[in-house]
Amino acid sequence: MTFFLGCAGTETGTMKRVRLLLAAAMAFCCATGFAARAQEEGPAFVPKIPDRQSWSFAGPFGVYDTAQLQRGYKIYREVCANCHSMEDMHFRNLADPGGPEFTEGQVKALAAEFKVTDGPDDNGKMFKRPGRPADPFPRPFPNEQTAKLANGGAVPPDMSVLAKARSYEPYDWFPADIGYALWSMLTQYQTQGPDYISALLQGFKKPPPGFKIEPGQNYNEVFAAGNGIIAMPPPLQDGVVQYPKGPDGKPVVPETVEQYSKDVAAFLMWVAEPKLDYRKQLGLEVMIYLLAAAGLMYFVKKKVWAKVHA
Amino acid sequence: MSGQSTYVPKNALAKWFEARLPIGGLMHSSFIAYPTPRNLNYMWTFGGILSFMLGAQILTGIVLAMHYTPESSLAFNSVEHIMRDVNGGWLLRYLHLNGASLFFAAAYIHTARGLYYGSYKSPREVLWLLGIIILLLMMATAFMGYVLPWGQMSFWGATVITNLFSAIPIVGDTIVTYLWGGYAVGNPTLNRFYSLHYLLPFVIAGVVALHVWALHVAGQNNPTGIDVKSSKDTVPFTPYATVKDALGLVVFLLVYCWFVFYEPNILGDADNYIQANPLKTPPHIVPEWYFLPFYAILRSMPDIFFIPAKLAGVMAMFGAILMLALVPWLDTSRVRSARFRPLYRPFFWVLILVCIGLGYIGAKEVTPGRIVVGQILTAYYYVHFLVILPLLGLIETPNDMPNSISESVLGGNATAVPAGAHAAPERKG
């Protein structure tokens, strides 16, 4: 079992020291790099590297937090879905095991909140009807051109696999980059996507002095792809989505941008990788089986070869 | 070496069949009675592992093909359909996706083992060349397979690599047009790549059969590089090699399943989860890890006199594999195994480090500093094969070698072969 324990997500003392060392070295390199660049072309945009967060679904035994996915769905429904499609998801998936696990009745009600285009009917006309569990999530815009028109020329990306399509590389210097890649592989660090999404949603800050922003554009300290300029306005504000209340009438988790960001990032990870819980559970069974097989084969091999080595 | 078949059919039906097609005898002499050197280490289990991986890739691939749609506007979503709505589809796809990486890892270890122990030397040159052909076919198959999910990296990787062929003088543009099926990478490209991706693995299987045949004619090399001299040097394939291969395979599967079940996307690029967009170039186009050293060589080449950098890069990249193909004739030493070659041994490890270094350079964005490092490493790669390898055989004094395989395993007193009787002819310099 040490095979797994050695790779669990807990941070040991050595790990911390290694990371501190890497951070210090990076700070030095950045500082010297900055100085050189500042002289050439004024302040350049250096994206903030998202912080590594702890997720319930990280590590070899990680599973999704059902309550968090339900909260995340609420944010998608009330905020994201206005602009972002989620084509590969169906309403029925909301009831799947290892997901938000809404009941079938809840899923029917949630699907009916959306209007879906169906048809053509007997008169040859397309018509709108309430969504059903078997429907895919409808697109907010009929086509790319409409989406562009409504969003200042940018197309809001589909969210089906968004959490797997986003990543970042914290180090660009030898040998920290290699060390980081190997360390991620060894510790199963797989959550760059949700880390990034959560950081991006919290990354709408006041632009630094001298940073030019056109009307309809927004500054985001994490958005490397646009050099800090993003078309999406800050989608979340404190209190904008109502969370389930506890017995005392207060929300169970805080209704803050930070909490919203984490919840919706977790939800999007589930959307991108809906079979994660089952994958890791099956993986454990496969690993135990293979370890046992390896042990048996080892002794069989020893026994068979004993005659030859004698 | 494959020996006389000692197969005796056990029942009347088997006897009847054997008289008409002696396939039982072939199987028996190839995989049961076949004498294998008794000193093979675990590096020799990769042949079996590779056969397994080829079978696994073909099986998972056939089922994936039942659900995949090779049409440029549907391909990306059909892969997600496999991941979500096909029973066990996510497992098949992750097995196939990571299977390609593990297949290459095993192939590179298998090749490096051949280089270290001199498995390419007489009488195994044809065996080695067949292996290089398999490697080339694997590269073509993997490259085309990576295009099928039609993500950003699929599309732009295909654009960059197919464009390379336009560097070939006179016929280049025509070749590229045929690769594309049009004037840019698009739906026809996806269709023909899908067709070829399905075809090539069976071609590989055919060449693997030749590879195994050639192996069974020449016999296996072994860690000492000394020829098998008597039946004392060998053990029957079954159970000895079978059980060792099985153990090696299970350990290999542990690594494979580690990736499949715990980090199925870590070897890939996040950008390939974005659907292909011909109007938007990703900031950083990189191939899969197993192509990185070749990609680095490709990007390292400058203009050389009248040869433009692009053509030079393509030549250097394919030349890198040609070097491997020529190794049996570039290596002048008569001693096979690096175990007895004190000078070759360090140079072998330097070459491995250089290949890893090239892989690193291939993974990173181009900077002036990295170009220089890439050029130095590329130059060293060629120097290793064209200068160091031929020279070493002439200046190196090999270490003392045991008289036979059994002597190396059991110590001097266990062999009936008189000391020194066989060592001398293999020494040189």
Last residue of a domain, one of B281, B309, B341: B281
B171 and B51 fall within a common domain: yes
At what angle are helices B152-164 and B172-180 packed, to 10 degrees? Answer: 150
Counting the structural domains of chain B, the total is 2
B303 and B260 fall within a common domain: no
B230 and B375 fall within a common domain: no
Alpha-carbon distance A88 to nearest alpha carbon in chain B (angstroms): 7
B137 and B273 fall within a common domain: yes
B143 and B160 fall within a common domain: yes
Of chain A, the percentage scoring pLDDT greater than 90 comes to 79
Chain B residues lying within 8 Å of A287, measured CB to CB: 254, 257-258, 261
Residue B429 covered by a domain: no
Tell me whether A15 touches chain B (CB under 8 Å): no
Specify the higher pLDDT residue, A1 or B89.
B89
Q: What is the mean pLDDT of chain A?
A: 88
B203 and B318 fall within a common domain: no
pLDDT-derived band at A216 (thresholds 50, 70, 90) equals confident
Among positive and negative, which fits the CA dihedral B252, B254, B255, B256?
positive
Residues 6+ apart with CB under 8 A from A39: none
ipTM of the complex: 0.91
B226 and B327 fall within a common domain: no
pLDDT-derived band at A106 (thresholds 50, 70, 90) equals very high
B114 and B206 fall within a common domain: yes
* Whether A301 and B247 lie within 8 Å, measured CB to CB: yes
Residue B69 covered by a domain: yes
* Whether A287 and B258 lie within 8 Å, measured CB to CB: yes
Q: In A, residues 149-178, which contact B (CB 8 Å cutoff)?
A: 157-158, 160-162, 164-167, 172, 174, 177-178
pLDDT for position B419 = 42
Chain A residues lying within 8 Å of B105, measured CB to CB: none
- Nearest CA to B356 among B264, B261, B420, B292? B292
* Whether B283 and A225 lie within 8 Å, measured CB to CB: yes
B65 and B144 fall within a common domain: yes
* Nearest residue of chain B to residue A287 (CA atoms): B254
What SS3 state is found at A235?
Answer: coil
Of chain A, the percentage scoring pLDDT greater than 70 comes to 86
Residue A32 has pLDDT above 50, yes or no: no
Residue A81 has pLDDT above 80, yes or no: yes
Alpha-carbon distance B255 to nearest alpha carbon in chain A (angstroms): 10
Residue B294 covered by a domain: yes
Average pLDDT over residues A222-246: 94
Residue whose structure tokens are 């501190």: A20
pLDDT for position A5 = 37
Residue A194 has pLDDT above 70, yes or no: yes
Residue B424 covered by a domain: no
In order along its 429 residues, chain B shows pLDDT tens digits of 444 567 888 899 999 999 999 999 989 988 999 999 999 999 999 999 999 999 999 999 999 999 999 999 999 999 999 999 999 999 999 999 999 999 999 999 999 999 999 999 999 999 999 999 999 999 999 999 999 999 999 999 999 999 999 999 999 999 999 999 999 999 999 999 999 999 999 999 999 999 999 999 999 999 999 999 999 999 999 999 999 999 999 999 999 999 999 999 999 999 999 999 999 999 899 999 999 999 999 999 999 999 999 999 999 999 999 999 999 999 999 999 999 999 999 999 999 999 999 999 999 999 999 999 999 999 999 999 999 999 999 999 999 999 999 888 877 554 444 444 444 444 443
B369: phi then psi, degrees, rounded to nearest 5: -65, -45
In sequence order, the β-bridge partners of residue B234 are B37
CATH code of the domain covering residue B55:
1.20.810.10
B182 and B254 fall within a common domain: yes
Residue A237 has pLDDT above 80, yes or no: yes
B302 and B272 fall within a common domain: no
Last residue of a domain, one of B281, B309, B330: B281
Cis peptide before A120 (omega within 30 of 0): yes
Cis peptide before A175 (omega within 30 of 0): yes
Residue B156 covered by a domain: yes
Residue B305 covered by a domain: yes
With b meaning 16 or more CB within 10 Å and e meaning fewer, what string describes B328-351? bebbebbbbbbbbbebbeebbeeb
Residue B13 covered by a domain: no
Average pLDDT over residues A4-30: 44
Residue A43 has pLDDT above 70, yes or no: no
Chain B residues lying within 8 Å of A60, measured CB to CB: 262
Chain B residues lying within 8 Å of A298, measured CB to CB: 247
pLDDT for position A215 = 86
- Nearest CA to B131 among B123, B122, B119? B119
Parent domain of B316: 286-400
Chain A residues lying within 8 Å of B246, measured CB to CB: 297, 300-301
Tell me whether A310 touches chain B (CB under 8 Å): no
- Say if strands A229-230 and B35-37 run parallel, antiparallel, or are unpaired: unpaired
Last residue of a domain, one of B256, B281, B306: B281
pLDDT for position A307 = 84
B90: phi then psi, degrees, rounded to nearest 5: -60, -40
Residue B406 covered by a domain: no
pLDDT for position B7 = 87
CATH code of the domain covering residue B328:
1.10.287.980
B274 and B175 fall within a common domain: yes
- Partner-chain residue, chosen from B254, B263, B360, that has the shortest CB–CB distance to A190: B263
- Nearest CA to B392 among B345, B356, B426? B345
Q: In A, residues 190-219, which contact B (CB 8 Å cutoff)?
A: 190, 192-193
* Whether B246 and A297 lie within 8 Å, measured CB to CB: yes
pTM of the complete model: 0.90
pLDDT for position A3 = 38
